[in-house]
Amino acid sequence: MINLSPVHQRYFATTWHAVAWYPELWPERIAADLALMREAGINLVRVGEFAWAEFEPQEGTYALGWMTAVLDACHAAGIAVMLCTPTATPPRWLTRDHPECLRVDRDGRTFVHGSRQHASHVSACYRSHSRRISDVLARAFAGHPALVAWQLDNEIGMHVDGDFSGEARLAWQEWLAQRHGDIVTLNQRWGTGMWSTRYDAFSDIELPGKTPFDRHPGNPDGAHSASLTTDWWRFVSWTNQRFLAEQAAAIRAHSAAPITHNHVSHDRLTPAGLMEVVDAAGIDIYGPPEGLAGSLSNLEWMRGARRRNDGSTLPIAVIESAASPVPGRSAAHAAFYLGAGAHLVGYWVWQQQRSGQEMWHAHLVTAWGERGAVWPEVLAASRLMQRLDPLLRAHPALPDRVALHESAQARAYAPVPGLPTDGWAYWQQRLQHHESLTNSGIPSVGLLEEHDPSGLDVVLSPAMPILTDDLLRRMTAWVEAGGLWIIGPHAGYRTEHATVPVEGGLGRLDALLGMRTLWMHGLNGAAAKLLDEAVVLNGRGYVLEPRDPACEAIGVINDGWAAGRCWAVRRRIGRGEIVVLAYPATQSKRDAYGAIVARLAATRVPLRTSSSPGVAVFLRDGACLVVDYAGAGGWVDVPEASQDLLSGRSVAVGRSDVPAHGVLMLKYEKA
Amino acid sequence: MINLSPVHQRYFATTWHAVAWYPELWPERIAADLALMREAGINLVRVGEFAWAEFEPQEGTYALGWMTAVLDACHAAGIAVMLCTPTATPPRWLTRDHPECLRVDRDGRTFVHGSRQHASHVSACYRSHSRRISDVLARAFAGHPALVAWQLDNEIGMHVDGDFSGEARLAWQEWLAQRHGDIVTLNQRWGTGMWSTRYDAFSDIELPGKTPFDRHPGNPDGAHSASLTTDWWRFVSWTNQRFLAEQAAAIRAHSAAPITHNHVSHDRLTPAGLMEVVDAAGIDIYGPPEGLAGSLSNLEWMRGARRRNDGSTLPIAVIESAASPVPGRSAAHAAFYLGAGAHLVGYWVWQQQRSGQEMWHAHLVTAWGERGAVWPEVLAASRLMQRLDPLLRAHPALPDRVALHESAQARAYAPVPGLPTDGWAYWQQRLQHHESLTNSGIPSVGLLEEHDPSGLDVVLSPAMPILTDDLLRRMTAWVEAGGLWIIGPHAGYRTEHATVPVEGGLGRLDALLGMRTLWMHGLNGAAAKLLDEAVVLNGRGYVLEPRDPACEAIGVINDGWAAGRCWAVRRRIGRGEIVVLAYPATQSKRDAYGAIVARLAATRVPLRTSSSPGVAVFLRDGACLVVDYAGAGGWVDVPEASQDLLSGRSVAVGRSDVPAHGVLMLKYEKA
Amino acid sequence: MINLSPVHQRYFATTWHAVAWYPELWPERIAADLALMREAGINLVRVGEFAWAEFEPQEGTYALGWMTAVLDACHAAGIAVMLCTPTATPPRWLTRDHPECLRVDRDGRTFVHGSRQHASHVSACYRSHSRRISDVLARAFAGHPALVAWQLDNEIGMHVDGDFSGEARLAWQEWLAQRHGDIVTLNQRWGTGMWSTRYDAFSDIELPGKTPFDRHPGNPDGAHSASLTTDWWRFVSWTNQRFLAEQAAAIRAHSAAPITHNHVSHDRLTPAGLMEVVDAAGIDIYGPPEGLAGSLSNLEWMRGARRRNDGSTLPIAVIESAASPVPGRSAAHAAFYLGAGAHLVGYWVWQQQRSGQEMWHAHLVTAWGERGAVWPEVLAASRLMQRLDPLLRAHPALPDRVALHESAQARAYAPVPGLPTDGWAYWQQRLQHHESLTNSGIPSVGLLEEHDPSGLDVVLSPAMPILTDDLLRRMTAWVEAGGLWIIGPHAGYRTEHATVPVEGGLGRLDALLGMRTLWMHGLNGAAAKLLDEAVVLNGRGYVLEPRDPACEAIGVINDGWAAGRCWAVRRRIGRGEIVVLAYPATQSKRDAYGAIVARLAATRVPLRTSSSPGVAVFLRDGACLVVDYAGAGGWVDVPEASQDLLSGRSVAVGRSDVPAHGVLMLKYEKA
């Protein structure tokens, strides 16, 4: 792999079977553990994750020898190490002697010491201590031959909201001042004329604490201005990013090894922000086996975040997942992760927790030191990974041609201002669109909205209220060069500052498409057409009116109060085309997004495949990988006469059964 | 209209098609907006509602010229103005420089600046500022020819509980001292011997904050004494009333124009208290179209609150409602409001909010300046209002003969002490009884319990735990003069201090009726009779025992542990009659209240009509107005052969179809 | 009864028909009330319960004469008195002048004065005042001839969590220091290496306030370490026990009368702790009539807590229950309580509350002074109690042979750390197992885990995560002497410090049984066998592997990923046997616990009987008492040809109908 340093190359070139290990809790078991890991085919351990109190038992007093011994033992056993910064769990001396490190919740309650993530990412004190311990670890272990990568913190933002401390209030005001320059600009951007909210100074702007309007049991703190709330989430993301970036800088000063983080899908850190910090993408996947869609959606956006100039993508890591005793499940899931672009399949946790928390969690070895229920399945996963590895290298993934935007702006925007679930609401909407594509057999990759779409044929942008000027500029240039951009539904109706655009209902799209957005209003089951296909429109959307002859109405509403109105348009621009879908649509009660995209993208969508729900298909060069993720068995429509390289069996074109947790590596006979 | 000043007469004599307008947010659109308003048939705008920061950008510095320009432009366009005090939204300098203005919630959290209603109606500081801005506006605009009315604040008490600040605590203790005189009296009235709660001084009495007893997920703060809680709601209502009254006084010092307020139905301000403050009744109606019952119930109590000596009522205003793009809906709703006694049909909001909050709300003009989806419907409503106006004047409403009490005491009383939904619970019970009457074709008007029932034939008093001595005195005198008073169910079982009456289970009713209330207990589907009709009794109620020969048992329980006991009595008193219904009753699983009233009131109920749910019928002199409010279509039993003055069509006696959102103005041929 | 003082003997030897009475609220009614009580067959009143403000109107000023008059009047009327300490309701002067007495909730909010239980059981100030008022009452009334017993406080811990005040924080740290000796030991026991939670001193350990991990709507405060949480509940129980014990000591210094407390089943006080404090067991039973299982389960553990050396049990008291107007219900419930070992059947409340709270509660006399709806039923209960009393004495209860453990450790252990429902969750699990036994016709008694099992044949220990060393020692000795101990499901998988045992998956059971616990994992409907019976396994459990030839696999899993594994074992030890059931099992979707116990205990289970749900059967010497508790009617399988001593009717062996709320006292003809 070009452009990668040797130490990065080593990390990315290897397929890792990994596990989280806390040897500090079981020092007497280190040798036995390593022997068992070798038996299980484990070749990478994550260590140090919550061990701050071990590394620094008193402030400024370090005890690092035990970790040196661990790394030495790993190296001797041929097991590589990902070393973690322990900043999710401050030692007691830190929270006791520096209580300003503790985060405060929306109610003004300070979190007490205990569990994890109770320290504030805004706190200058906590940031300083976090930088220091990162520096100490980097200095001590950067050169160790066992070390192949670093992990920053743990699942940042997973269990917590923003910090509502006094220090956070000042940081928020400073951040706003940086972003908006002067208070007049902020007032104009936020439209603070409404409800007399105008601010005289940045110091006037409160954290979004309790306020009366729109309080209800699901939103007990009331709703602040959508502009304030949207900036608030941007600020929270920025504080989380800065917290990680400061650790990364401390490590990079001493170590050339790649840096990663075990992301969780709905956290409070923009994907692009995360990618700016890390060298290597990593994610925790804990969805249930029924949740193929969620896992695939998460993996696809993260893989897409690592696209390179040649259109290929860097491998990604499934840092944590739960091993399962169900026969074949762990192997099938490992194959699924590899198919989706992972080079690391990791488990949490090696040994069952003995104390404190999560004692019930899946584990490889019991707290009393025996191979656990999942043991044979982990071994099976290891064997399958070893068999698949060369086959997947021989048949690399096809270049991505269709991408689904992943939008930090959408995560920040609050459909109902003040709801703590905003980012989650977007995640769910995006997931639904991704699933609809998958159900229509259209493979897609994620595209961060901040990134360049070059090399792609089709880009889809549903559920993106905010289309920034910068995004429009980049996308329009790509369309002119031949791209097909399908925008919406639920896109373009807010400015970057979460206000309603006043140059047109869908902002600059109106002029770009040569149309006029007439009005926003809800529909509840209105019959409509898209081209000549019948669909039903539901939910909030926009009625459009083509004005420019080049703007073609491709969707018409057939009944209800908006009968005869247009809800979808398209326009050729340069060598490409933009489509706007202004309402969500269903067919026979089912979401129609995938079918619409298939119809509109037509020849641009690469080889499509069908499979039953729960069965994933990954198209490769001259082959395809088929995995029954869900474990209920199903079928796949095999695109070409093939041989299953795993079983040696010949498989004809057409529908073919897939057994429960079955994995097929189908090499096309023609290829 | 007699007794009204010319300026009041002008306001009441006109039928207004109104809209809320925030020209301070779109100063460049003022001329264009007024032209569009004329196109839409709008003849009144509400302005200034949230514009405090525009009126007073810094403390004591006023900027009123912009509003003068707005009023001038309105006047020139022939559009009248209702000017609002902006006190629902304090400017930031006020909450920043006078933080004692902010309200505190039950948890002790101070609301932060943002959204609206975060200032305390108890705060002397906030009240002073509110009086001052009201005075400034009244001085500046009282003489403007465009001005026809004032609105105080906005939807007072809608999103907030009482204030739990230290200042509120002192005000509460002072209010209690005023009400009860001395602490010994309070202890006696509240029965504080129970649970050792006796107070040594008024300063001992806490705000109803968190307490252990009866805490559960639906009541996380626990339950205080019912007496304390009931007085607490009275106090909260009083503080809200005083807040409005202070503004009204400031305005009246300079302006003769009528003063109104846009009430919401379940707020924390007694109806009589509200009526004491305002000259003109106004309400916001946002129920769904299925919610005919709720809208009608709200309008009827407010209309009844404006009964005059001759039994007619002053017109009322629907200050806010949502325009709809559904064909015919806005016109039908306008006709419904006029039928229910309104002379003003208003919309919120003229132009879609560009920023902050409620950007999704229905609007007439989009944020980007175009006629919105509802435009043709608003025009249709305007046309229909203009056609109906002379027809309704030619056929005035029949005098009200049946009234349903509207009880501030019931709103204050807490069935489960401490629940924040107390007033709401009463509102729902009253609504259910009103709906039952409507379903039985019995038109009714609201009667505030503080008001005089003279001129009415029948008064109904369900769901009124507290019947005050004053009410009993007034009602008994009216009964002696010929009235029929139907009391209950759920009436009379608490004293004015929310305790159990000890002179008899239903207090003074026992002696008045010549009966003995034996005991309270729940029934669950017990068969019973009322006269000779079969009913089923459910819920908590009282078993009665007639003692005086003049007290007639008219309801007997047939099965269960109370078989043979009496649950309903009546007694002639003077020329009238009192009926007590001591249990809620159903027939065939449906609420039987309307049917019971129809049976008991017999000849006293005026012409009854039937219609399908969702279709409203308003009886007029020689005519009736029929409106399909819900929009699903239905039927009406036409009482006399008629001509529909709107369509010119003849309509026979008997069941006649009403199309979706249809409006019929049926003139009786005989009349 | 041997070993009891005369005053204790008098209390226990009498069958009491009791009621709670608040004569301080109705001083003018004392004579009338006592006359009515005699009419109703009441022979004991509970007084003084909430009367602190009457006893001590100002700090240090006592007014006791009114109570002397009450006791004198009772004595004259032949009605005995249970005098209560009034410490659930502090007077206002106390909370006002000593605000440090008020308890603080988990959010840091101080409870305001009002309702009850708002004072802290940790507060030195409140404890001192509580001791003093107890001492004052004991000095004043110890010698009064009407007094037969004392009640401490009221339903301690019912409405409140632990106290989170600063004083509580120090007390918690001191308690931990006492329990663990030094911080190194605590760190080792709690396993604080995990997540860097290690403490440097006891003063480092916080109260379990808000923390981020595992926060969700059902657990808004997050989860602390299971070890900390488990110790926290132990501490809360200890503070409640100490609070009661201090009062008991104050009383015992002056009075020889027995001391009791009206316990509620899911409070925060260990059963053994409660029993250490009181002389006489008492409980409040407010379950619905459908809830036979809950009432019986509560009564059985409390009765078992009073087992004597001869295997018989001391009578217990149903201190509060609700009288009912439903014909026969109160009599049937009284019979049920007597059958379950009660010698006191009490009602709450004599006269309907006039004010404040609970005015809706069941009562014997109305607030307006009349006999209430329940009156004839209370008379019927009184008559039935008088008839049953000699019959039950003539046919004493059979000695208990089967016992179900009641585990304070299980109540303290938090399955999901931090949940406030922990004790409740255990209570529900235990209840389910008890109900399963009852449904299988197996009578059982409760056995506190701290008590001696001698005299019993079979002991069952389901839902007990923590089996202490002490318990294992006592139980093993009893097994060696011939006992059958059936352990689990859900037993033995945590140490005393709520950690995972590392010597084996089920701790010392592994070695004791001669097996190896392989792993913990969930099953979802796996087919299995127990001996030759088919069962289905569900939920979390453990797979076992017999190692010692003496360890017999008696349960095997038949399908799923654990097929062929063992889930249940047994081993003879000395003259007895231990069985371990490692998974919950069902048969035909129903809980199979009772059936399994019946099968395993075989000949050891005494005479079994069957009855329909809602019908209770109490086996006596030569007779049995049958009660339809639920009131729906049902049947009983009569074990021997009998005569019903109440009706005189002969009853054949086999299924016999029981009418609604029917009570049969069946004397066996052979006996």
Contacts of B233 (CB under 8 A, 6+ apart): B162, B268, B411, B412, B414, B422, B423
Place of tokens 């071994």: A379
| Most C CBs within 10 Å, among B225, B518, B519, to test the C interface | B519
CB contact under 8 A, B192 and C355: yes
Which residue in B454, B508, B460, B510 sits closest to B482, CA to CA? B454
Examine the pLDDT at A293 and tell me if it is beyond 50: yes
Confidence class for position A418, pLDDT limits 50, 70, 90? very low
- Compute the half-sphere exposure of residue A185: CA atoms within 13 Å on the CB side of its CA: 7
Place of tokens 């060696």: C480
CB contact under 8 A, A228 and B372: no
Determine the average pLDDT of the residues in A414-419. 48
CB contact under 8 A, C194 and A52: no
Distance from CA of A381 to the nearest CA of C (A): 16
List, in sequence order, the alpha helices (H) in A212-258. 226-252
A199 to chain B: which residues are within 8 Å by CB?
Answer: 92
Q: What is the spatial distance between Cα A265 and Cα A278, in angstroms, rounded to a whole number? A: 16
Strands A484-487 and A458-461, bridge-based pairing: parallel
CB contact under 8 A, B540 and C360: yes
Minimal Cβ distance to C196: which of A89, A111, A352: A89
Q: What is the spatial distance between Cα B227 and Cα B207, in angstroms, rounded to a whole number? A: 13
Confidence class for position A421, pLDDT limits 50, 70, 90? very low
- For residue C420, the model assigns a pLDDT of 40
Minimal Cβ distance to C370: which of B498, B499, B518: B518
CB contact under 8 A, A115 and C212: yes
Q: What is the spatial distance between Cα C200 and Cα C204, in angstroms, rounded to a whole number? A: 7
Place of tokens 């201590």: A129
Distance from CA of A111 to the nearest CA of C (A): 5
Examine the pLDDT at B1 and tell me if it is beyond 70: no
Contacts of A109 (CB under 8 A, 6+ apart): C107, C108, C209, C210
C54 to chain B: which residues are within 8 Å by CB?
Answer: 193, 196
Q: At B405, which amino acid appears? A: H
User: Please, what is the average pLDDT of chain A?
Assistant: 94
CB contact under 8 A, A355 and C195: no
Domains and CATH numbers, chain A: 6-162+256-394 (3.20.20.80), 166-234 (no CATH), 402-604 (3.40.50.880), 615-668 (2.60.40.1180)
CB contact under 8 A, B195 and C50: yes
| Most B CBs within 10 Å, among C21, C368, C661, to test the B interface | C368
Contacts of B350 (CB under 8 A, 6+ apart): B19, B20, B21, B22, B33, B37, B45, B363, B364, B365
Examine the pLDDT at B2 and tell me if it is beyond 70: no
- For residue A267, the model assigns a pLDDT of 67
Determine the average pLDDT of the residues in A300-326. 91
| Most B CBs within 10 Å, among A176, A213, A216, A565, to test the B interface | A213
Instruction: Identify the closest residue of chain B to A503 by CA–CA distance.
Output: B368
ipTM of this complex: 0.94
Model confidence pLDDT, tens digit, residues B401-441: 999 999 999 988 865 544 444 456 788 889 999 999 999 99
Q: What 3-state DSSP class applies to A307?
A: strand
The secondary structure of residue A413, as a DSSP letter, is: S
Examine the pLDDT at B24 and tell me if it is beyond 80: yes
CB contact under 8 A, A354 and C499: yes
CA-atom Rg of chain B in angstroms: 26
A210 to chain B: which residues are within 8 Å by CB?
Answer: 105, 109, 111-112
DSSP of A646-671, one letter per residue?
A: TT--EE-SEEEEE-TT-EEEEEES--
Distance from CA of C473 to the nearest CA of A (A): 22
Q: How far is CA C591 from CA B548, B572, C275, C563, in A?
A: 60, 63, 32, 21
Instruction: Identify the closest residue of chain C to A161 by CA–CA distance.
Output: C212
Model confidence pLDDT, tens digit, residues B64-88: 999 999 999 999 999 999 999 999 9
Minimal Cβ distance to B561: which of C22, C327, C352: C327
List, in sequence order, the alpha helices (H) in B118-266. 124-141, 166-180, 183-190, 226-252
CB contact under 8 A, B499 and C93: no
Which segments in chain C show pLDDT lower than 50? Answer: 1, 417-422
- For residue C217, the model assigns a pLDDT of 73
Which residue in C202, C208, C156 sits closest to C180, CA to CA? C202
B224 to chain C: which residues are within 8 Å by CB?
Answer: 114-115
Determine the average pLDDT of the residues in A284-312. 88
- For residue A222, the model assigns a pLDDT of 85
Q: Say if CB A254 and CB A578 are below 8 A apart.
A: no
Stretch (H or E) spanning C508: helix C508-513
Contacts of B63 (CB under 8 A, 6+ apart): B54, B55, B56, B57
Distance from CA of C529 to the nearest CA of A (A): 20
Minimal Cβ distance to B197: which of C114, C159, C353: C114
Q: Say if CB A455 and CB A548 are below 8 A apart.
A: no
DSSP of A529-598, one letter per residue?
A: EETTEEEEEEEEEEEEEE-STT-EEEEEE-SSTTTT-EEEEEEEETTEEEEEE-S-EEETTEE-HHHHHH
Q: What 3-state DSSP class applies to B571?
A: strand
CB-count burial class (<10 Å; 0-12, 13-18, 19+) for B419:
middle
Minimal Cβ distance to C196: which of A90, A96, A373: A90
Instruction: Identify the closest residue of chain A to B21 by CA–CA distance.
Output: A194
Contacts of B147 (CB under 8 A, 6+ apart): B71, B80, B81, B82, B83, B141, B255, B257
B50 to chain A: which residues are within 8 Å by CB?
Answer: 194-196
The two structure tokens encoding residue A513: 């498409």
Q: At C364, which amino acid appears? A: L
What is the torsion angle, in degrees rounded to the nearest 10, for the CA atoms of residue B267, residue B273, residue B277 and residue B283?
A: 40
The two structure tokens encoding residue C506: 């089920």
Strands A642-644 and A663-668, bridge-based pairing: antiparallel
List, in sequence order, the alpha helices (H) in C142-279. 166-180, 183-190, 226-252, 271-277
Confidence class for position B267, pLDDT limits 50, 70, 90? low
Percent of chain A with pLDDT over 70: 97
Minimal Cβ distance to C198: which of A92, A109, A327: A92
CB contact under 8 A, C194 and A90: no
C501 to chain A: which residues are within 8 Å by CB?
Answer: 367-368
CB contact under 8 A, C355 and B505: no
Q: What is the spatial distance between Cα C245 and Cα C239, in angstroms, rounded to a whole number? A: 10
Q: At what angle do helices C226-252 and C183-190 cross, to 10 degrees?
A: 120
Strands B663-668 and B623-628, bridge-based pairing: antiparallel
Q: At B473, which amino acid appears? A: R
Examine the pLDDT at B309 and tell me if it is beyond 80: no
Q: How far is CA B646 from CA B384, B387, B626, B637, C188, in A?
A: 9, 8, 11, 18, 88
Examine the pLDDT at B348 and tell me if it is beyond 90: yes
Q: Count of residues for chain C?
A: 671
Q: Count of residues for chain A?
A: 671
Q: What is the spatial distance between Cα B221 and Cα B219, in angstroms, rounded to a whole number? A: 6
Q: What is the spatial distance between Cα A220 and Cα A235, in angstroms, rounded to a whole number? A: 22
Q: Say if CB B324 and CB B377 are below 8 A apart.
A: yes
Distance from CA of B495 to the nearest CA of C (A): 10
Which residue in B487, B483, B437 sits closest to B462, CA to CA? B487
CA torsion sign for B630, B631, B637, B642 is: positive
CB contact under 8 A, A210 and B92: no
| Most C CBs within 10 Å, among A112, A351, A378, to test the C interface | A112
CB contact under 8 A, A212 and B327: no
Q: Say if CB C247 and CB C153 are below 8 A apart.
A: yes
Task: Say how many C-beta atoms besides its own lie within 10 A of residue C598's C-beta.
Answer: 16
Q: Say if CB B341 and CB B299 are below 8 A apart.
A: yes
CB contact under 8 A, C502 and A116: no
B96 to chain A: which residues are within 8 Å by CB?
Answer: 200, 204
Distance from CA of B513 to the nearest CA of C (A): 17
CB contact under 8 A, B501 and C369: no
- For residue C4, the model assigns a pLDDT of 82
Confidence class for position A608, pLDDT limits 50, 70, 90? confident
- For residue A215, the model assigns a pLDDT of 79
Minimal Cβ distance to A359: which of C204, C214, C500: C500
Q: What 3-state DSSP class applies to C345?
A: strand
Neighboring chains of C (3 or more beta-carbon pairs < 8 A): A, B
Which residue in B433, B487, B479 sits closest to B456, CA to CA? B479
Beta carbon pairs, A and B, within 8 Å = 163
Q: What is the spatial distance between Cα A338 and Cα A413, in angstroms, rounded to a whole number? A: 33
Q: Say if CB C332 and CB C629 are below 8 A apart.
A: yes
Q: Say if CB B424 and CB B434 are below 8 A apart.
A: no
Neighboring chains of A (3 or more beta-carbon pairs < 8 A): B, C
Model confidence pLDDT, tens digit, residues B647-664: 999 999 999 999 999 999
| Longest Cα–Cα distance in chain B | 78
Least confident piece of the model among B161-175, B612-626, C213-227: C213-227
Distance from CA of A338 to the nearest CA of B (A): 44
Q: Say if CB B18 and CB B285 are below 8 A apart.
A: no
Q: Say if CB B64 and CB B136 are below 8 A apart.
A: yes
Model confidence pLDDT, tens digit, residues A178-227: 999 999 999 999 999 999 999 999 999 999 998 888 877 777 788 899 99
Neighboring chains of B (3 or more beta-carbon pairs < 8 A): A, C
